[in-house]
Amino acid sequence: MTKNMISKNVILRFSPEVVGEPIVYLLVKEFDLVPNIIKASVNPDKQGYILLSLTGEEENYKASLKRLEELGISVQCLMERIKWHEEICTQCGACTAVCPSLALSIRRPEMAIRFDSDKCVACQMCIQACPVNAVTLDL
């Protein structure tokens, strides 16, 4: 049977009681996932988060989410946190040139920018490209 490999950017949020859990070790050892930490804020006295990409088999990925939730860690797909602010956008098109998944594209014939959040892979290239901060990552 062919295994479906995926790569997802996710945010793990956890309470102070869970800060000591070896989360990354668990993802590697129990679920054979390859975690790549993009950003983290872990304070023993406060709620923390880890922003990371997870690569591996889809079934293992899904099982790991269940396990993390059992530990009291909330998991959110980063794609859901990328926001395009139409009211700020100047329609310059710079983001469409760098978006690898066509989540940001130019709608024709109107030549208007369109954001399809279902296609977004949360690479954040558009955030760097946008001159007016019309795309944000809301953590």
Quickly tell me which residue has 């978006």 as its tokens: 99
Shortest distance in whole angstroms from residue 36 CB to ligand SF4: 16
Q: Are 18 and 72 in contact (CB under 8 A)?
A: yes
C-beta atoms surrounding 21 within 10 Å: 14
Q: Which residues are near ligand SF4 by CB under 6 A?
A: 82, 89-95, 98-101, 103-104, 113, 120-126, 129-130, 132, 134-135
Shortest distance in whole angstroms from residue 111 CB to ligand SF4: 11
In whole angstroms, how far apart are CA 6 and each of 11, 85, 131?
Answer: 16, 28, 31
Closer CB to ligand SF4, 67 or 114, in the complex: 114
DSSP 43-91: -TTS-EEEEEEEEEEHHHHHHHHHHHHHTT-EEEEGGGGEEE-TTT---
Shortest distance in whole angstroms from residue 1 CB to ligand SF4: 30
Closer CB to ligand SF4, 27 or 120, in the complex: 120
131: exposed, middle or buried (C-beta count within 10 Å: 0-12, 13-18, 19+)?
A: exposed
Closer CB to ligand SF4, 70 or 118, in the complex: 118
Shortest distance in whole angstroms from residue 61 CB to ligand SF4: 19
Quickly tell me which residue has 């490999």 as its tokens: 5
Closer CB to ligand SF4, 61 or 115, in the complex: 115
Closer CB to ligand SF4, 132 or 139, in the complex: 132
Shortest distance in whole angstroms from residue 31 CB to ligand SF4: 25
